[in-house]
Amino acid sequence: MRLKLEKRQEPSMAMLIATPILAVVATMFIGMIVFDFLGIDGFRAVIDIFLTPLLASYKWQDVAVKAAPLIIIALGLSVGNRAQVWNIGAEGQYIIGALAAAGVGIAFGPVGGFFVILLMIIAGMIGGSAWAAVPAVLRTRFNVNEILSSLMLTYVAAQVLSYMVGGPWKDPNGRNFPATAPLTEAQSLPIVVPGTTIHLGVLIALILPFVFWLVMSRAVFGYQVRVVGSSPQAARHGGFDSRRTIISTLMIGGAMAGLAGALEFTGALKAINLGFPSGYGFSAIIVSFLGRLHPIGCLIAGIVLAVTYVGGQVAQTTVHIPNATAGIFQAMMLFLILASDILIRYRVRFVPSAKPQAVAGE
C-alpha cells in the first residue's frame, strides 16, 4: 500500500472548514507528545493552554480583551491576503496607531469625552494606514516586495516608540521610566461589561467581522480584491485597477492594525511603555490564516489564539513552562494549517503498490 494524492474536481468545502480544526487538534497532540519527551506533564500543559481559559469563567475577560486586537488586525490582513498582498508589518502599524492616539490625547491635555476618544481612535487608524502606505507606494511604484518593507518598518516603528516614550512624551511623574503618562478616565474607552476589564474595543471586535463579511462577500470592493488576488490580468480585463487595489488593501490592513493599537492603548493598557509591542501584529497573521481569510473565521481563530495566550500564562504557574510556550503552539498551528491546505485541492488515497516494471532501453 502507498499513499497517493489525487486532485479533486473541485476544492472541498468540508476540508476548508475541517482543516483549521484539524490543525488545532494536531497541535495539541504534537505538543503533548513533545512535552512528555521533555519530562514535562504534556497532558496537563495542553489542557492548561487550550482548555483552562475556556473552562474557568474568570479567565473569559482576559480571553476577550486579548482576542479583540487579534481579531481586528487579522480582519485587515485578510483583506490584503485575499489580494495576494502580504503585509507582515501589522505590528509596526499597531505601534504607530497607538502612538498617534496617544499624540492626540496628549494634545488635548486634560480634556476628554466622547469626541476626544473618537478623535484618538481615528488618529490611530490614520497613523496605522499611513505607516502601511509606505510599503504600498514602494510596491506599486518601485516594485519593492511588501513583505520585506513592511517587516522592516516594524523595527522602525519600535524605535519611534522608544524615542517618544523615552523623550518628548515621557511621563513627568513617572520616576524617569520610559512610558507615557497613564490616561485619565476621560480619555479611556468605556467598560462595556461592568466589573470586568471588557472595554468597548471588544464590542468593536465582535461587530467588525460582520461588516467585513458583508463588504468582502457582497460589495464590488470585496469582489475586486478577490479578482486581483486570483488573477491580476482578469482584474484588468474586468476594469479593476490592480495598483489601486494593492494600495487600498495595504492601507486597510494598516488602518485596522492602527485601530487595534489605539483601542488597546485607550481600552486596556492606558499607557505606552517599551513593552507595548506584544506581538499581536504577528500573531494576527496566524489568526488570518487559521480563520481561512474569512471574517467570521478570523473572529473564531482570534479567540483560539487568545486562549493560547491566556493559557500560556496559566501553564506558566501550573506546570512551570515559560510563557513563550504559547508562541511555539501558535507557530505550530500556522505550520499545520498551511501544511493541511493541500487537502482542500487534493484527496489522499491508499493504493496498492505498483508492481515493478521493466525499463526500456536499460
Partner 1 sequence: MEPSSLPPRLELTGITKRFPGGLANDHVGFAVRPGEIHALLGENGAGKSTLVKMIYGIMQPDAGEIAWNGQRVTIQNPKAARRLGIGMVFQHFSLFEAMTVLENIALGMDANIPARALEAKILQVMGQYGLKLDPHRIVSTLSVGERQRIEIVRALLLNPKLLIMDEPTSVLTPQEVEQLFVVLRQLAAEGCSILYISHKLHEIKALCDTATILRGGKLVDTCDPKVETSRSMAEKMIGGSLKDIQRSADRGFGPAKLLVKGLSLTPPGAFAVALRDISFAVRAGEIFGIAGVAGNGQNSLLLALSGEEVAPDHGAVVVNGDAVGGLAAKERRLKGMASVPEERNGHAAVPTFSLTDNAVLTARDRLGMVRAGLIDARAARTYAGEVIEAFSVKATGPGAAAESLSGGNLQKYIMGREILQKPQVLVVSQPTWGVDAGAAAAIHQALVDLAATGSAIVVISQDLDELLSLCDTLAVINEGRLSAPMKVADARIEEIGLLMGGIHGEGGSTHAA
Cβ contact 75:261 at 8 Å: no
**How many residues sit close enough to partner 1 to count as binding (CB under 8 A)?**
29
Nearer to partner 1, 43 or 346 (CB): 346
- One-letter amino acid of 59: K
Subset of residues 122 to 181 that bind partner 1, contact rule: CB under 8 A: none
Dihedral sign (CA 315, 317, 321, 325): positive
Plot region of 295 (φ>0 → left; ψ -120 to 50 → alpha; else → beta): alpha
Nearer to partner 1, 138 or 215 (CB): 215
Question: Nearest-5° angle of CA 293, CA 295, CA 297?
Answer: 70
Tell me: does residue 195 bind partner 1 (CB under 8 A). no
Tell me: does residue 279 bind partner 1 (CB under 8 A). no
- Three-state DSSP at 292 gives coil
Stretch that binds partner 1, among 92-100, 108-116, 184-192, 239-247 (CB under 8 A): 239-247
Cα 264 from Cα 197, distance rounded (Å): 12
| Least Cβ distance, residue 217 to partner 1 (angstroms) | 9
| Least Cβ distance, residue 341 to partner 1 (angstroms) | 14
Tell me: does residue 355 bind partner 1 (CB under 8 A). no
Subset of residues 9 to 28 that bind partner 1, contact rule: CB under 8 A: 9-11
Count of beta carbons in the 10 Å neighbourhood of residue 167: 9
Cα 204 from Cα 150, distance rounded (Å): 26
Tell me: does residue 230 bind partner 1 (CB under 8 A). yes
Give CA torsion, residues 327, 329, 334, 340, to 10 deg. Answer: 170
Nearer to partner 1, 236 or 320 (CB): 236
Nearer to partner 1, 218 or 320 (CB): 218
Tell me: does residue 237 bind partner 1 (CB under 8 A). yes
Residue from 5, 6, 107, 193 touching partner 1 (CB under 8 A): that is: 6
Nearer to partner 1, 226 or 270 (CB): 226
